[in-house]
Amino acid sequence: MYTVATENFDGYIHVDNLMKKALKEGTTEEEIKEAYVAWSKTYEKDILNQGYGGPAVAAEQLVQKLKEFGYTNDARILDLGCGTGLVGEELKKYGYKTIDGVDLTPELLESAKAKGIYGLLQQGSMGSPECKDLGIGANQYDATICVGTLALAHVKSEGLDDLVHVVKPGGLVCFSIRDLSLNAPQSGYREKMDQLCEVGKWKFVAKHHQAAYLTDDGKWFFVYQKVEIA
Ligand SMILES: C[S@@+](CC[C@H](N)C(=O)[O-])C[C@H]1O[C@@H](n2cnc3c(N)ncnc32)[C@H](O)[C@@H]1O
C-alpha cells in the first residue's frame, strides 16, 4: 500500500479517498465528477504547488516519439481527461497548433477554455462500451495523450479503447498510470494493455517510470502506436 505525502490538501485527499474506496467497494462516475467539481476552483493551484509534473513528462515523451515517427508540429493531438488544460500548455510550448480536449467535468473544461490553447473542447466520458459516450469519431487524430485520468475510481480499463479509437492507424497514444492503479488487480489495466497488443490494435513503443507526486508510489508513462490497417 502507499501513503499520501501531505494531510493538509483537501481536494486531493477527497479524490484519493475515492481511489481507496475503489479498491474495496467500487465507485461511480457521478462520485468522481462531484469530487472534481468540488475541487475545480483550486485544482490547478493545489497540484502545481505540490510539484505535479505529469503533464510535462507525458508531453516530453509524446513529443519525442512524434518526432521520431516523422510528425511535425502540425500533428493533430487530442488530450483525453484534459481537466484544466495543463497538458495543452505543455504541448503548446513545443509549438503544436492543433490540440483538442475532452473531459468529464464541465467546470474544469471552463478553465481549459479560458487558456485559449485548445480548439475543440467538449464534455465526454471515457470507458463506455464502444466509446459511445466519448463524443469523438474514430481515426481523427495523429496522437492522443491522457494524463492522471487512467486511475482507480476514474476511468476503467475500457478507457484504453477510447485512446485507440480516436487516433488514425499509425498514430501514437501516450498515457500515464500510477503504480497503485496499474498494480491493483481490479483495475485490469495491465490485462487490457496486453490484450490490445494480442488482438493487434496497438504495439508497444516506449515506457518511462518516475516518482509520483504527493504519494510514495511511482507513475508509468507509456507510448503505443495504433496498428496500421493491413
Ligand atoms: C487528475 S485529473 C487530470 C487532469 C489533467 N489531465 C491534468 O493532468 O491536470 C483527472 C481528470 O479525469 C477526468 N475524468 C474522470 N473520469 C473521467 C471519464 N470517465 N472520462 C473523462 N474524463 C474523466 C476528471 O474530470 C479530471 O479532469
Q: Please give the chain's pLDDT, 230 residues, in tens.
A: 444 444 445 677 788 888 888 888 888 999 999 999 989 999 998 888 878 899 999 999 999 999 999 999 999 999 999 999 999 999 999 999 999 999 999 999 999 999 999 999 999 999 999 999 999 999 999 999 999 999 999 999 999 999 999 999 999 999 999 998 999 988 999 999 999 999 999 999 999 999 866 666 799 999 999 998 76
Instruction: Indicate whether 202 belongs to any domain.
Output: yes
| Residue to probe by mutation, ligand 1, list 108, 125, 154, 175, most atoms within 8 Å of CB | 154
pLDDT at 217 (0 to 100): 79
Query: Are residues 87 and 194 part of one domain?
Result: yes
Which residues does a 6 A CB cutoff place in the pocket of ligand 1?
29, 32, 36, 54-55, 81-83, 86-87, 103-105, 108, 125-127, 147-149, 154-155
CA–CA separation, 82 and 11 (whole Å): 17
**Range of 192's domain?**
53-226
Q: Three cell numbers at 131?
A: 466509446
Report the domain count for the chain: 2
Instruction: Indicate whether 4 belongs to any domain.
Output: no
Query: Are residues 123 and 36 part of one domain?
Result: no
Considering only the C-alpha atoms of the chain, give the largest distance between any 2 of them, rounded to a whole number of Å.
53
CATH value at residue 159: 3.40.50.150
Is this structure's pTM higher than 0.75?
Answer: yes
- The last residue of one of the domains, among 50, 65, 80, is 50
Query: Are residues 63 and 21 part of one domain?
Result: no
Q: Tell the residue nearest (CA) to atom 4 of ligand 1.
A: 83
Query: Are residues 179 and 76 part of one domain?
Result: yes
Instruction: Indicate whether 197 belongs to any domain.
Output: yes
Q: Three cell numbers at 55?
A: 503533464
